[in-house]
């Protein structure tokens, strides 16, 4: 599929209609889904209606925005009015929200066409999308491998061009890690930039919605559309939203003005040498584009993972208390009393990983342990944030690998939660500090699997991330490679 700008041009020049573009996406979904399983639900009828509304506007000579008529996938943890929102959990199997999330509402308002809801790890807890209660999504580059997670459905759908762009959510890496594994661009904005209203909460102080796209420019266009202050989210930032896609330049000149820091601690033990090599080459490329390269130390970066696995489960244990069979979602039948209804509902409705997190979180927050675990983790979170603050006194943007490895085989890590958690080692500190970060393709391993380069920016410096990513992308050809499943189709 073409880029947003190309499709927009075709629409306004009446070369193709929005209905035709949408139909192309729906046809591809129909052809590829038996192999990929990226979507939990395809909203074909609604999509064609939305597309034909765009065509009516074009026929009437009205101006349309860049995203009007563009097929989009939405991670199934964002509430969509009248369309099932399951979070890939049995407990929300029949839940149809009575309201729309702010991010998806903004897209609907400008005529973007939602083609369906994408698969995820249950309640966004996981790194491979294997924790979905419904299906395992395949990696388009190798169907025996996982697409990453938790937004694996969105990443696979964009990589296989079942839709042009998609939304995901990122609590500890759930946009960037699957973007890296599927060879696409994925972006986690500054905490508070995109409203969380209608995003089903996992860990509220870490969750952010962000874009998936095949190109940096498409990701920038999508972020500009969904960002912005929302009175319905008390953590939403009151800031003006730039047009991130405007004025992107193909280089980083004047030479030496933009300073990029390599995070020293992300290299070494545990890092796949092929990933290390690709990232090192990418840094050379950034230097030749005009950036000044520095080596930066973030000594507390390595405490990110243990800190996250106290804070995220703690918040999750509180957020998930609402699924009790009373208000909405699944309710266990034939319980004798209220307590047994609660426990039976939660025992049957939640999967293993979700239960594990609820138990860890409840433990960490309980009286007597709170100071030792939760409070301590909050203090370490501040230290990690201070490492980043110090780094940004010297450089503008930080770089490191997105994940220590490329995509692994389905089933490879399901029995060992710790090894699964480790795949987010390099993305998690960014969420703890609330910073923006982007992953984009920077190479392939010897099995033809994509490798991701992670760029981390200072608070609200999404513009710089897009600029660095764009210059890199335009000077390389990784983003032009397509998985066989697309080429062969
Ligand atoms: N993989 C991490 C986890 O399991 C991050 C998930 C996310 O970002 N939603 O919690």
- Residues 30-71: tens digit of each pLDDT: 999 999 999 999 999 999 999 999 999 999 999 999 999 999
- Residue 489 is predicted with a pLDDT of 56
Annotated catalytic residue 403: no
The token duo for 191 is 């905490």
Flag residues of the chain having pLDDT under 50: none
Q: Which of 87, 167, 173, 419 is the best mutation target for the ligand 1 pocket, counting ligand atoms within 8 Å of the beta carbon and taking the most?
A: 173
The token duo for 132 is 């979905």
Q: What does R_g of the chain's alpha carbons equal in angstroms?
A: 21
Question: What is the CB < 6 Å shell around ligand 1?
Answer: 124-127, 150, 170-174, 202, 312, 424
Q: Whose CA is closest to 131, among 352, 424, 405?
A: 352
Location of structure tokens 């491979």: 128
- Residue 487 is predicted with a pLDDT of 78
- Provide the CB-side half-sphere exposure for 70 (13 A, CA): 33
Is the domain spanning 4-254+476-480 CATH 3.90.1300.10? The answer is yes
Cβ atoms of 441 and 184 within 8 Å: the answer is yes
- Residue 472 is predicted with a pLDDT of 98
Whether the model pTM is above 0.85:
yes
- Residues 204-215: tens digit of each pLDDT: 999 999 999 999
Phi, psi of 198 (to 5 degrees): 85, 0
Annotated catalytic residue 195: no
d(CA 377, CA 311): 7
Q: Whose CA is closest to 486, among 36, 186, 114, 118?
A: 36
Annotated catalytic residue 169: no
Degrees (nearest 5) of the Cα angle 38, 87, 199? Answer: 110
What SS3 class is residue 362? Answer: helix
- Residue 269 is predicted with a pLDDT of 85
Q: Which atom of ligand 1 is nearest to the CA of 428?
A: 5
- Give the domain ranges of the chain: 4-254+476-480
- Residues 103-115: tens digit of each pLDDT: 999 999 999 999 9
Cβ atoms of 73 and 39 within 8 Å: the answer is yes
User: Residue 441 contacts by C-beta under 8 Å, 6 or more apart in sequence?
Assistant: 180, 183, 184, 185, 450, 451, 452, 453, 478, 479, 481
Cβ atoms of 44 and 71 within 8 Å: the answer is no
């Amino acid at each position: 599929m073409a880029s947003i700008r190309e499709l927009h041009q075709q629409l306004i020049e009446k070369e193709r209609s929005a209905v035709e573009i949408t139909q192309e996406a729906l046809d591809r979904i129909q052809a590829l889904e038996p192999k990929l399983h990226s979507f939990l639900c395809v909203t074909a009828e609604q999509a064609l209606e939305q597309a034909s509304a765009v065509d009516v506007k074009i026929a009437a000579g009205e101006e349309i925005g860049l995203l009007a008529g563009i097929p989009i996938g939405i991670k199934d943890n964002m509430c969509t009015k009248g369309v099932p929102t399951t979070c890939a959990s049995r407990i929300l199997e029949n839940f149809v929200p009575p309201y729309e999330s702010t991010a998806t509402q903004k897209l609907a308002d400008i005529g973007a066409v939602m083609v369906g809801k994408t698969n995820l790890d249950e309640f966004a807890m996981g790194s491979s999308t294997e924790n979905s209660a419904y299906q395992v999504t395949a990696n388009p580059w190798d169907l025996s491998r996982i697409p990453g997670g938790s937004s694996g459905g969105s990443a696979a759908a964009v990589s296989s061009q079942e839709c042009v762009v998609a939304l995901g959510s990122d609590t500890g890496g759930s946009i960037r890690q699957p973007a890296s594994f599927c060879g696409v661009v994925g972006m986690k904005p500054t905490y508070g930039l995109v409203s969380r209203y209608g995003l089903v909460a996992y860990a509220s102080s870490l969750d952010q919605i962000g874009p998936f796209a095949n190109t940096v420019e498409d990701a920038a266009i999508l972020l500009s559309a969904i960002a912005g202050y929302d009175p319905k989210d008390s953590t939403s930032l009151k800031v003006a939203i730039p047009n991130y896609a405007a004025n992107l330049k193909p280089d980083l000149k004047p030479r030496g003005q933009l300073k990029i820091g390599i995070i020293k601690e992300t290299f070494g033990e545990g890092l796949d040498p092929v990933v290390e090599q690709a990232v090192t080459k990418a840094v050379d490329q950034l230097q030749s584009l005009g950036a000044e390269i520095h080596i930066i130390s973030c000594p507390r970066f390595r405490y990110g993972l243990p800190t996250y696995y106290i804070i995220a489960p703690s918040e999750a244990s509180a957020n998930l208390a609402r699924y009790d069979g009373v208000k909405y979602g699944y309710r266990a039948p034939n319980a004798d009393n209220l307590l047994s209804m609660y426990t039976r509902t939660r025992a049957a409705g939640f999967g293993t990983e979700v239960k594990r997190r609820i138990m860890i979180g409840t433990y960490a927050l309980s009286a007597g342990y709170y100071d030792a675990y939760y409070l301590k983790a909050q203090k370490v979170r501040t230290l990690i944030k201070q490492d980043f603050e110090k780094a940004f006194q010297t450089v503008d943007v930080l770089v490191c690998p997105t994940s220590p490895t490329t995509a692994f085989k389905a089933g490879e890590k399901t029995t060992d939660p710790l090894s699964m958690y480790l795949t987010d080692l390099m993305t998690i500190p960014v969420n703890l500090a609330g910073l923006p970060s982007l992953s984009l393709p920077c190479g392939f391993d010897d099995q033809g699997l994509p490798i991701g380069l992670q760029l981390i920016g200072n608070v609200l410096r999404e513009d710089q991330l897009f600029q660095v990513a764009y210059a890199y992308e335009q000077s390389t050809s990784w983003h032009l490679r397509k998985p066989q499943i697309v080429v062969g189709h």
